[in-house]
Amino acid sequence: MEHSNKRDNLFVISVVVSLIALVVAVVGVGFGMRAIDESKADPAASGTGGVDTLEVSLGEFTISPAKAEMSSAGAIQVSNAGKAVHDLTIEGADLTTGPVDAQASSRLDLGGLEVGTYTMYCSIPGHKEAGMAAELRVTAGGAAAAGAGHGSRPEMSAEEMDRAMREVTASFPAKTAGLGGQPLDPTVLADGTKRFDLTAKIVDWEVEPGKTVKAWTYNGTVPGPTIKVADGDRIQVVLKNELPESTAIHFHGLRTPNSMDGVPDITQPPIKPGETFTYAFVARGPAVGMYHSHHNAAEQVPNGLAATILVGDLPLPAGVQVARTYPMMLNDAGVIGYSLNGKSFPATEPVAVKPGEWVLVHYLNEGVQAHPMHLHGLEQLVIAKDGFPLAQPYKADTVNVAPGERYSVLVHADEPGVWAWHCHTLPHADRETGMFGMVTAMIVQ
């Protein structure tokens, strides 16, 4: 009996506990539903404190929406839908998400930003110039409201898009001030040494029609002048620094004495503003190199302080005679942005050749991204990598050039026509308003 009474008591207790739990659950659900209903009626009860939230998406190379309006007490939910690292920065304010990895997100609180119109953009070098900029209107209150459109520009009709593309292509090659990469003649000293005089200075440089930037240059052009010497030549490169900060020259891809390697605080002191430094060495080739700054290089080089230096001649396949040698410097950052030899389409220079001629092209990447260079209609025969001749040259439709790399290719102009020539990372070359950036053409006629 005693055991039976205990079982009965335990049963009653368990039933009572279950009933209490059920009542609590029902009451909880009731309060939850009420909270949901109240949050719908009153945004201040939604858990966000009534703060406006603007959804912004980043990609290659766009910011969506292109125009937006929100409260100064709001926040921006940033999602990186692209494949590269991006950020969202508010121009004129100390506000940025910092780097946001691909497929990741971040939140940017405006923190009472003053009422006004701002530019929000990606501060990764070259990304703003490629189109990652949008307008943000900050108000004293009110809900976030996205403007029409996608990417970095308002939506266009099909007819408007076709017209914009047609107009930009029809203007190619557009005239702009300045031409970079021209041969630099040396002063020959009494002992036969070839001296090349360079001045590093900031100049106005027209990248494309209507876009003039403060470029950092050698002798006033982007890229700087091309230096061509023979294997075994004794050379001097005399650099005068007229920049507002120190600099130096590294001869990328060339073998030099250690003291001439051009790395401040490792092989030489930095060349301070107003100072001059002389680099002297014997050129050894064949070599396909670049001379560029190695001081604050992440800014100085993309802003223009780079150029081509060639030593000797690469061996050619039997029967090939080169009619023209064309160095093509690739850039994607700094004030210059997506460009070929310091110009963006439609201001890039076409390469005109006669049918049957051979062209030797040197791709030189001074940017911060890889660029698969694609030539329509004509084969590229790769004969050297980083200036080293290949024992087995090979044909390629597209040649991928990473930062710092050089590829030398032969092109046989055996098909007449105007052949598009561009980086095949498409956001580097084309958008809804037409081709831009890293596009040119080879004209065989």
pLDDT digits 0-9 by tens, 270-308: 999 999 999 999 999 999 999 999 999 999 999 999 999
The mean pLDDT of 222-242, rounded to a whole number, is: 98
pLDDT for 338-355, tens place per residue? 999 999 999 999 999 999
CATH 2.60.40.420 fits 187-444, yes or no: yes
Mention every residue, 6+ apart, whose C-beta is less than 8 A from residue 90: 96, 108, 110, 113, 118, 119, 120, 136
The mean pLDDT value of the chain amounts to 87
Report residue 418 as tokens. 């105007």
- Taking each continuous run of H as one helix and of E as one strand, the counts in the chain are 3, 32
Name the residue ranges covered by the structural domains of the chain.
53-146, 187-444
Do residues 271 and 277 touch, judged by C-beta distance below 8 A?
Answer: yes
C-alpha to C-alpha distance for 416 and 303, rounded to whole angstroms = 36
Instruction: Tell if the pTM clears 0.75, that is, is over it.
Output: no
Instruction: Name, in order, each residue with C-beta under 8 angstroms of 243's C-beta and a sequence gap of 6 or more.
Output: 200, 201, 202, 216, 273, 300
Residue 201 has pLDDT above 50, yes or no: yes
| Per-residue pLDDT tens over the stretch 131-157 | 899 999 888 754 444 433 333 345 678
What is the rounded radius of gyration, in angstroms, for the C-alpha atoms of the chain?
Answer: 31
Tokens 């029609």, residue located = 209
Q: Say how far apart CA 94 and CA 109 lie, in whole Å.
A: 11
Higher pLDDT, 24 or 226: 226
Pick the CATH number of 53-146 from 2.60.40.1120, 2.60.40.420, 3.30.1200.10, 2.10.69.10: 2.60.40.420
Do 53-146 and 187-444 share a fold? yes
